Amino acid sequence: MDANKTHEIRTFRAFSSRNYRLYFTGQSVSLIGTWMQKTAVSWVIYTLTHSTFLLGVTLFASLFPSFLFSLIGGVVSDRYNRYKVLLTTQIASLIQALLLAILILLKHYAVWEIISLSVVLGIINAFDVPARQSLVYEMVEDKNDLPNALALNSSMVNLSRIVGPALAGIVLEAFGDGMCFLLNALSFVAVIASLLMMKLPAYIKKEHTKNVLGELKEGMAYIKRTPSIAFVLVMLALISLMVLPFSTLIPYYAKDVFKGTASTFGVIDSFIGLGAFSGAIFLASVKAGTNLKQILFINTLVFGVGLILFSHEHSYPLALAFVTIAGFGMMSQITVSNTLIQTTVSPDMRGRVISYYAMAFFGMQPLGGLLVGAVSKWVGTQDTLLFEGIAALLIGMLHWRYLHKEKMKEKAMAIETQRLEVVLLSGFYIWLLFRPACRLRPCHIHVCRRPANKHHRHLLCGRLPPVHRSNNACPPHDPYQNV
């Protein structure tokens, strides 16, 4: 399929850019490995400890370093060559994955060792995410295709979330946990190869007069001046803190509620990914100009309803259906938020603003993981998930309130504009009634598009001259002679 035919398909129109096709292919393979490792880590930790709190600690260890260092990562992305930064972080991720695979294959490991390597990965991601998300903008040749590219990114992430956990469940039972970690390490070869094959425009180094702290302050000041971006970041932070950590409780449902094995855990995680993938394909298919804020509001409610229905469900098939609904709503929290930011932010602020996005997403989730782990010990896992669903509905109502205020502001501005027009027109007509005798000058604001032998009226006084003059001037006359 050539680029023109690809462009005609609305859902995949970003594939007309060669660099983006390479990125998508390599990243898809790498993300499958990443989800295999995430599934294996959660299963290994829960099997060793049977503690939902330690699942939260593991999530905290892998994400909180991203919260601490993401702002610096954003400045690095804006100050240096993003392509080289991304290539470096991918090689570092390969080394981290190899170390973890060797540790697990040797069968001499403790929980603290796995958590320590998770911290290393979190630090790497703090620099990887701003550079990767910012570089997508440069990969897409037609910038009108950027929202489609971001939606396809989400479909890629969520498709890997379907395939990765399902494969992890099979590999865990057939070959053991060490093979999952080794396959993840090998998957980084694909994304590194795709980056090396890209042909991006030559990097132009820019002079930076401010230090790192000054550029961080500049990024925060920009967000404060842009309320639409600030609101999206606040909503994402709330969702990441109170709702998204629900995934840390899935091993409990697989093992204790449905009396399953590692495959059961993989299947539940895959159905979450199936819902999210469906939502991402839906987003990639929407027409340009669609109100994404409205979609984000609706899908936040869908997310909450799905979690509420899943929380106390003991029927395995129904639980899979409900968790798929939750996955569909969950997808928008990441994808729509990212799209709204990427299509609004100034290019020179892109890396820093995305670092705040990463901070809201990666920073709040680990804190939420600790919170969810602690609350589940107090009120029980199923009630904790129920509360998370209710929290999603409340956040959705906050979003509705913001949209309502925005709509009222637009109406008020429209009314004010109409009033101003009425005042101006009234003043103009009053001037026409009480103006002094017309001393006609050439009518510069009148453009006569008729042939020279046609009559036209003077724009201000309405006088119809007998002869059209080339300089659009009307003959002297008494404006009150017909009164």
Q: What is the pLDDT along the chain (483 residues), one digit of tens a residue?
A: 444 444 444 667 778 788 888 888 888 888 888 888 888 888 888 888 877 778 778 877 887 787 788 778 877 877 788 888 889 999 999 999 899 888 888 877 788 888 888 889 888 988 888 888 778 777 877 777 777 777 777 777 767 777 887 788 888 888 888 888 889 899 999 989 988 888 877 766 666 566 667 777 787 888 888 888 888 888 888 998 889 888 888 888 888 888 887 778 778 888 887 888 788 778 777 776 677 788 888 889 999 999 999 988 888 999 999 999 998 888 777 777 877 887 777 777 777 787 788 778 777 887 887 788 888 888 888 899 999 999 999 998 988 888 878 777 777 777 777 778 777 777 777 777 766 554 444 444 444 444 444 444 444 444 444 444 444 444 444 444 443
Q: Which of 364, 394, 411 is the last residue of a domain?
A: 411
Q: Answer yes or no: do 160 and 19 share one domain.
A: yes
d(CA 130, CA 67): 12
- Candidates 303, 316, 195, 311; CA nearest to 258 is 316
pLDDT at 134 (0 to 100): 77
Q: Answer yes or no: do 223 and 146 share one domain.
A: yes
First to last CA, the chain: 75
pLDDT at 323 (0 to 100): 92
In a domain, 425, yes or no: no
Q: Answer yes or no: do 444 and 406 share one domain.
A: no
Contact 472, 448 (CB under 8 A): yes
Task: Give whole-number Cα distances, 449 to 34, 68, 472, in Å.
Answer: 68, 66, 11
- Candidates 201, 232, 393, 208; CA nearest to 298 is 393
What's CA 429's distance to the chain center, in Å?
52
Q: Answer yes or no: do 309 and 352 share one domain.
A: yes
d(CA 202, CA 168): 40
In a domain, 449, yes or no: yes
Residue type, 424: L
Tell me which residue range forms the domain holding 380.
Answer: 13-200+219-411
In a domain, 212, yes or no: no
CA dihedral 233, 238, 239, 245 (to 10 degrees): 120
> Phi and psi of 75, rounded to 5°?
-65, -40
In a domain, 241, yes or no: yes
Helix segments in 204-261, DSSP class H: 212-225, 227-242, 250-252
Report the SS3 class of residue 476: coil
pLDDT at 305 (0 to 100): 93
d(CA 313, CA 67): 34
Report the SS3 class of residue 27: helix
In a domain, 3, yes or no: no
In a domain, 419, yes or no: no
Q: Answer yes or no: do 346 and 466 share one domain.
A: no
Query: At 354, which CATH number?
Result: 1.20.1250.20
In a domain, 205, yes or no: no
How many helices (DSSP H) and strands (DSSP E) are in the chain?
A: 16, 0
Number of domains in the chain: 2
Percentage helix, strand, coil for the chain under 3-state DSSP, each rounded to 5: 80, 0, 20
Structure tokens given for 86:
């991304």
In a domain, 114, yes or no: yes
Burial of 445 (0-12, 13-18, 19+ CB in 10 A): exposed
Burial of 64 (0-12, 13-18, 19+ CB in 10 A): buried
Q: Answer yes or no: do 194 and 145 share one domain.
A: yes
d(CA 278, CA 284): 10
pLDDT at 209 (0 to 100): 60
- Candidates 28, 67, 53, 33; CA nearest to 240 is 67
- Candidates 239, 265, 251, 276; CA nearest to 367 is 239
Q: Answer yes or no: do 342 and 452 share one domain.
A: no
148 Cβ contact list (under 8 Å, min separation 6): 10, 11, 12, 13, 14, 284
Give the 3-state DSSP-derived string for 43-84, with helices as H, strands as E and coil as C: HHHHHHHCCHHHHHHHHHHHHHHHHHHHHHHHHHHHHCCHHH
Q: Answer yes or no: do 449 and 396 share one domain.
A: no
Q: Answer yes or no: do 151 and 241 share one domain.
A: yes
Q: Answer yes or no: do 144 and 51 share one domain.
A: yes
d(CA 339, CA 408): 24
128 Cβ contact list (under 8 Å, min separation 6): 73, 86, 89, 90, 93
Q: Answer yes or no: do 265 and 325 share one domain.
A: yes
Task: Give whole-number Cα distances, 211 to 144, 225, 355, 363, in Å.
Answer: 33, 21, 17, 24
Contact 275, 322 (CB under 8 A): no
Query: Which of the 8 DSSP states describes residue 312?
Result: T
Q: Answer yes or no: do 309 and 392 share one domain.
A: yes
d(CA 93, CA 423): 65
